[in-house]
Amino acid sequence: MKMRMTFKTPDAAKEGAEKWAAAEASDAPNAETEWADIITEKKEAAFVKLSKWISNGEYITVEFDLEKMTAIVVEKEPVSEPKPTSE
């Protein structure tokens, strides 16, 4: 049996990307102002990649397979274009 749950995590994605970016930038031997720029750049790049799974910067859907005892993060559904109205 499979079950999907959508979680709203407004701070988790932002904080996770910030921590990851800071860890990635910690090896950079630059001045602090450059270090802050590197963190911002890496964080923004991470959000672009994470947008495959995170909607509106805060929603994530996980599918649980209770028979296999596994869980996967579900790709977000593509936004469909509005259909033109016939007049």
Alpha-carbon span 76 to 56, nearest angstrom: 10
pLDDT tens, N- to C-terminus, the chain (87 residues): 999 999 998 788 888 888 888 888 776 666 556 778 888 888 888 888 888 999 888 899 999 999 999 999 999 877 666 666 665
The answer to pTM > 0.85 is: no
What is the separation of C-alpha 61 from the centre of its chain, rounded to a whole number of angstroms?
11
Q: Which of 53, 27, 58 is nearest to 42 (CA)?
A: 27
